[in-house]
Structure 1
Amino acid sequence: MRLTKLTLHGFKSFADHTEMLFEPGATMIVGPNGCGKSNVSDAVRWVLGEQRARMMRGAKMEEVIFQGSSARRAVNVAEVSLHFDNSDGVLPVAFKEVVITRRLSRSGESDYFLNRVACRLRDIHDLVRGTGLGADSGVVIESKMIDALLSDRPDDRRELFEEAAGVGLYRDRRRSTERRLEETAVDLSRLDDLIEEVQSQVRSLSRQRKKAEKSVELTSRRFAVDVTLAARELESWADELTILHARLEELRDAVPAASEQAESAARERENAQRARAAAEAMRAELARMAQAQREQANQVERELRVAEERQRNAMSRRERADAELQDGEVLGQRVIAEREDAETERLRLQVELSAAVELLTERAAAEEESRRSVSMARQQVDAAEKILRDARDQVRRLELDREGTERELAEVLSRTSVLETEVATLADALQTVARDSDAAAELVEIARVEVARAQGALETARNAAQVARTAEADVRRRLGDADRQRTSMQGKIHGLEALDRDRVGLAPGAASVLRQRESFGSGAVLGPLSDFLSADSDAAILVERYLGATVHAVVVRDREAANAVATWHATAKPGPVLLLPLDAVNDVIVTDAALASRVKAAEPAERWVRALLGQVTPLDGASGFVDARGAIYLPGTESAQGPIQRRAELTMLRDELESLDAERARITIEAQTVSITLQSAEQAVMAAADAATQAMGEVRRAEESRAEVERRSARALREKNDAEQLAGKLAERRATLQARAADDESRAEELRAGLAGHEIVITSARQRLLGSDEMLEAAREGRTVAQVSQAQSQARVQVAQDRATRLVQEQATAAARLETLRRELSQLANADMALAEQIATLTVQLEERQHALSELDTRLIEAEEGLRAADLSLRTGDEALELVRRQAVLMAEELHQTELRHTQLEARRQNIRERLETEWRKPIVELLEGFEPLDLNADALRVENEQLRQQLDQLGPVNPLAVEEHEEEMKRLDFLAAQRNDLAEAKLSLLQAIKEIDATARELFLATFAKVRENFRQIFQTLFGGGECDLRLENPDQPLDCDIEIHASPRGKKTQRIHLLSSGERALVALSLLFGIFLTRPSPFCLLDEVDAPLDDQNVGRYVKMLNQFKERTQFIVITHNPRTTTEAADAVYGVTMQEPGVSSLVSVRLRNRNG
């Protein structure tokens, strides 16, 4: 496979149709600057699918279209085609010639063609994959790409390796698989949400289904329990009522006799009560007088005891005061003697203290003088030693600084040379990064706009779906409510129809007449009056209230038919019957206000209805009425529902059922509409979620690309600034170090000369310090002895002073105490005389009180005996009265309870009948007919009945359609679960596919990397004539993702950093790497755009030699300015000129025959 032709039309400066034919070998393209040579390399890159406008040296892709010149108008379409000879079948198509074409119009439409058939860019990439061709491959090598290949960006060199290894296809497959994996994850998440929602509905419907089934079961059981319990209660109450009636008769005769006996016993008790009250009053008065006398005697006795105790205390206190007075006088004499001795001792010790203080002052002054001498000598020694130490330290520091300065100066010179080269390299890198940064920022903004649009659409779709779900739930709820109401109404209608059909509530006599109607002749008995009446519910209530039992009247044809019925009635005795012959009633005029105007009457009973209701007027705003006599009827407790009310209610329920059916049909149509809306909304959500996910992925990739560019830019700028600043600092540092080295050497010599004199001064000062220390030690010992003597004398003086002060205080205290004791003895003598007189008076008073109290106690005993006799008589009367009254109350209470029980049982029987008929919608006779009661006792039945009622109440409202709805939702849940299982299996399959793709790509990449590494070393040795180089993976454990490091050391150099090489050396390293890749997997052709510009003549020779070596297997298209490259390596030469300003044209020269 080889390139045979390149055609251009309207591409950049090639306005006209231009063809370039290529033979095997090397084709050179030469021409002056600005004539459009590099547009050829741009055309090759562009036709192979380049999508970045900056790689086309423009701001937008439309700029590759010819913009016009001073003499020509701009064109609207740019087209470039590459023609390949595919005779060897390298490209997987059944054509010997393959033409790849790209066309771009100013409207922005870009089209690709394969052999002039429209195709996708991806189709072209798949076609040339593995051949070394591609927009990102090494087909086009520009001079600026040498720095890109050897820069800190690992992506560029990784693309070359991946293209050579053929792992690009696997990487694309991995990306495609990852996208499918992300889509599967989104679908799984969406399905999980749907499943969770449906599961919630299933759980709710399951609960509703169980409630419905449970409700039917509980209702059936409760009917059996309720009817069994009611039947047993009715049966037991019938016997009890008979017994209660007999007992009532007995009690009504016995209660009056018991009342008379109670009144007689009450009168006797009142007489005994009055006698006891008089005895009680006498006893109370005597008890009060005795209590008063006793309290007075006790008071006198207490006062006597207090006086005697005070007399004894006074005598004891006087004895203690006499003894204490004698002791105080003796103590005072002893204190006076001790005080005189203490004063004499204090004066003697004061003299000794004065002498000790004078001695201490003299010794302290001598010590201070010695201390000053020692301090002065020590300061002199310290000063001399410090001067010597500082001088030695300065000498050492200067020597070390000089050595460090010399080393640092050598290092500065070396680093300055390296930094100059590095600054130049980083400046070029910054220009490249700046262009990449602008393009990345533009892509990020475009992607963010797309994300915002997609997220807005997703949010709108989600809101619409939520609204649809809410509407669907509301419609389902309303449909369920309507079904429940319809079921309830149908049950009521069936019950009322059964009651009306069986004439439940009709009087027994009228029912018997109707059963015998055939025996009276055809048409004789027409039916009950209620069959011919119909009205609304309010009017029906008024009619039944007014008519009362007349509602059960039987309409007959005439009086003859009435006589026949009467004859039968006299024999059969079925009960009261009211007959209404049609020929016995006169027509009545009915007013609009009459009750008859609100009633619909059917023939032949219409005249009877007007006669009965035509003169009855309902009251305004009330449920009463006024009859023809003017009597006013006001309602009371509501009576049971009659046949007219029942028929009115039945009519109303039928109308409501018809309206409900219409409403249910409308809700059903609305539910279908909402369901369709919900499906559309959910599909819109899924589509919007997919779009949002794809847009976010594009933003993430664009931001990652921009972040990488910004990191490269920041790193390059930071390294350049650091390098420039460091170079300036190194220059300043070099001058400073040179000056410092000379100055340090001069100062060190001066300091060494002065060290000997400082050592002599230190020796003399140390000898003087030794003598001063000995004098200071002797003075310190003398001062210590004097200080101890002074402290001892001062302590003894202080003790003597404290003793004298204490004795003076004790003398004053003793004198005051003696005076107090003398006054107290005088007061105690006076108090003793007064207490003796008081004791004598109190003794006489106590004897008088005790005599009077003895007399009162005797009289009180007599009164209490009279009271006890009255109490006995009263208790006897109370017991008799209580017995008679208890008997009367018990009889009256029993009578009341018996009457109450009789009434309650009658009311209960009626309530049970009415409750059963109302609740179970049948007459009591039909409920009990053929019913088999449960075999349980009454208590168990009541407990179970209450439990069943509570369970039904706890169930709450029941959805009768829950079973059908539950089955539908379960089918939907099973379908969604099956879909989720399929997606989960697909996810596992995709993950396994990614693992297999990674394993295959890793194996191919490592094999290719090893080959490229070996080829790179061989070619490097050839181009540089020696040296070392290597390729290394930054992280061998992750070969598909880690950076690829390039290490190169030309012969005679030890540097390993690529960016420290010269531009020519960097170019040779890049060429070595490219040719190493070509050796591994040669491309059909390679376009070199001025890559030999930085090479000198010697390296150009090596470069040409390498071209000649490789052009046997790879076509080379070389854009160059170097005449040696053109003459020594070219097989054909194209000259690019601009004979017309702004328009490029070709001139070709074929050299193969000449050279060969």
Structure 2
Amino acid sequence: MLLTKLEIKGFKSFADKTVINFNEGITGIVGPNGCGKSNVIDAIRWVLGEQKTKALRSEKMENIIFNGTKNRKAAQMAEVSLTFINNKSILPTEYNNITITRRYYRTGDSEYELNGVKCRLKDVTNLFLDTGINSNSYAIIELKMIDELLNDKENSRRGLFEEAAGISKFKIRKKETIKKLEGTDKDIERIDDILFEIEKNMKSLERQAKQAKKYFDLKKQYKSTSLILGQKKLKEFESKTITLTNKLSEEENLQVQLAKKAAQCNASLEQMKTDILIKEKNLNFRQRTLNTHTGKIYELENNQKIKLERQSSIKQQLDQLHIQKEKTETEKEEFKIEKQSIAMQLESLQKINAEHSISLEEKKSKLGKLKELINEKKIKFDSQKELLNSLEKQYFDLVKEKDILEIKKQQKRLEAESMSERFQTIANEKTHYSDTLKELKHKVQEDTELLNKMFVRQKAINEEKANATIDKERLQDLKIQLEKNFAVKENEFNLQKELFEKLEDYPDSVKFIYEHPELEGKVHLIGDLIQADSDNEAWLEELLQPYLNFLVVDSHVTARTAINLLNKEGIGKATFISVDSLKDIKNNNLDISSQKIKIREKHLPILQRILSSFQTTNEDSFQKINGGFQYGYIFRGGSETSTNQSSKIGRKAKLESMTNELKNLEKEMSSITTQLKNCLEKLEELDRRSLVELINSKERELDLLNKEIQLHKAKEGQIEESFQSIQIHEQDLQDEIIELTEKFDLLPPKIELLSTQIKKHEYNLQFLEEDLSIENDSLSVIEKEYSEANITFIQAESQTESLHQKESFLTNQESKIKSQLKEINDKQEELEQDMLALNDIQETDYEQINQLKLEQEEIENGVKESEKEYFNSRNELEKTDNELKSIQKKRDINNHILGELREELNQFNLQMQSVIDRLQIELGIDAQQIQNTTDSELENSEFYTLAIKDLEHLNSNIKSQIDKMNNINPMALEAFEEIKERHLFINNERQDLIDAKETLLKTIEEINEVAQTAFTSAFHNIKDSFIKVFRTLFTAEDDCDLTLTDPNHPLESKIEIIAKPKGKRPLTINQLSGGEKTLTAISLLFAIYLQKPAPFCIFDEVDAPLDDANIDKFNNIIKEFSNQSQFIIVTHNKRTMASTEIMYGVTMLEQGISRVIPVDLRELSA
């Protein structure tokens, strides 16, 4: 598979549409820092589905959209497209060209496209699953990911191994199966809930069925009149309710059946997916074998074509050599004839040249004599002219010097005036800086005194704040302790209060009498009348245990009233003690007051009566005394009791005591809270009064003032130096002006003398120039004649030389032609031998191609068979999936129908309940009894003909007799049988779901086995490749290894990297240098490529930590792997740039806008 094109628009710094084309081999992306190189990598990662903004170097997803510049508006959308050629059928799709597009809008909307068709992120992820291509795979590596890989951050190392092992599909299938398993568990839980409700209703219906028979026997005589009246009002509701109830039951049964079918379909579906996954791997394996075989045939056929082309080329060369040989023979004859013609021409030219030579010598002699005369006169002229030039130069130099002196005098005067003004300005500045310096020193002294005072005040505040902080911490600890104590006491109080109010450890009859409103304040519990301290409470409760359920009343009348109430309600029995029937009984053996036991005076006889048959002893046990009376012995230490048990002695008094204790704790907590609040307010006030910021501010001000003083001192020194320098400079200027005036006065006489001499020499020079001009005219005539004769002679000599050269050239050409003829003969013989060798090799290749094609047919048949099995399984999977969807749709419809039926049934029940409530209030008759009565039964009743008013009147007379009867369910027996059958049916459905769950668990186990086998095999292969690549990048003596921390559980085990370069023994990988760690990570990555080559690989400045030697190793191994995969390298390294084939330069010609400039280095290298 080949990555061919990346299109970016509106993504980060790529505001305009940018297209980057990729070819096979190595592509480099270069550019200065901040130009947007890494944005290219981010774009590829993003279009492949990256969701983490951190991986895209952004805080939020909206930041990836181009945000505008000073001259550009912000974009509203980011769009990136990535195009692949699926030439090796790696992707499971029928298209050869695949383009993935991702868009993101500022509104937050996002969309994906595959070949222009909208799709989901899941579709993109599934398309590239187990291909080595995704947003966080080993195909895209940044420099920071090297450390993450070596440090195994977020388990990144295992993710790469799983991707290379091809078990990602298995993990996803396992996840889906676990999800189905969770759904099945939820279905089982729902059925368990239904069963729980049914069992609860079964118990209720069972009780109702038992009560129904008794109810009918008791109320038979009232049935007719009650049913006649109720039937007329509820008959219509009854039929509708029964119909709805039956329909609801049918729909609930259907719901359980559909849940069972859905679970079975899910189990089948997961099994089919596992089978398809295995068949798909088999198909991919055979397809790869076929591709390899086809590649071999293609390679042999290409070689065959090359050999045929070579034969054709040899034949053409032989033909060309034959033509060239004939042409060379012809040229040889032509050269021979031309040489004879040149020899004749040379003989004729030699005679003409001799005549021209004599004439030329005569004219040359005459010309020489005239030149000598002219030279003599010219020397005299030049001497005069040179003298004149010298005088003129002296004249002009003196005039120039005069002007320069005048200008310098003027400049020095102006400079002197300026210096005087500058002197006055600096004097003023000196006075100003001196005054300012005094003011600053005075300000520093004042601020220093103020700062010292502030330090003293802040020290006092800090001491006060420290004391307040100690108080705050003490109060907080105290508050926490009080809150804990309060919580403990409150829980204890609530427990005692609940026991006291609910009387859970008392019989129902006791609770009924104690809580009855008619007996309020007249009935007491024995335990509530007695109070004892903690030392006596335990033995006293043990002693009074048989009597604690007794009720104390003031009189027999109250006791009788309570007994009548118990009999009337039929709740049970209770034991009463009447205070007015007891007299004081002295117990000489047990002094109640000495035991710290408190009881009201009027209730004292009760306690004395109980204790009259006991006496105290120091023994560890007590026993009965034989005689007329029997005494018990009480051990004063009491009995051991658990702190978790609640005593019945003095509960009411304890509650009052605990209430007071809680109130005291609340007051104490309130007081502590107030103190803590005051303390916090004090701390806040101290913080507000804190002078730390003022002190810091004042210290900064003092620092600035001191710096300003230093600056002023430095400036004052500079001004003083400038002041002295100006004084010296001003004196120097006056001296220079005097000197320039003296020089200027000497120049005018010299200039006048030179002017007179120049005029005299100009006259003499004019006379010499006229005489020289006459002689020069004569020289010109003679020179012209000589020149014409010389030209004629030279032309003849040149023609002769040309003929000699041509003759020599022809001789050389004859020699070359002989050599060419020999080379042509040798080349013909060599090409004829090559032709014979190619014919022999070609016959061998034809036989090998035919043999490979026969093998290819067998492999293709295997591929077709695998494809057939795969697509058959896919069809079955789709059928099962469609069936599951149909069942799910039915379940949704069923749930909707159930909701409607329940709502409708609730409406009828409300209407029926309204009638029933009215009947129950007016007649005390159950509505179910009315509905179950037939018309024939009612017609035989003597009350059937009575009017409703008469029936109501009659029923009012007997109402008092039936008020005590409770309502019963007349349909209880029938409903009980129905719910029993339903309970059995749902239990069977639950078992089916359990069976489906076991199937899913078995599927997960099979997936684990396949995944573990694949991972283990891949791990060992990667380990061997890692050692090989590591020693290639380092040396053959270096040691490395990959290990599993838990070999028994390879799918969960961590993977450890061991790297030991020669001469080092690092304890951890982090002890290696940056370059060594980078090479180790690169070794691991390429080992993973060897296991499962990715179609392309992107390195983002991975080579940054490497030195030149390691850069070369890095580039060499990339060049080696580039035959299998594309490489895209973002780099700053020149050596890496030189190793690329195509390079894209990223630049920002416009501020904030990235642009791409391509350079094809293959053309340059060619």
* Alignment TM-score > 0.5, same fold: no
What TM-score comes out, normalization by structure 2 length? 0.38
For the pair shown, the structure with the greater C-alpha radius of gyration is 1
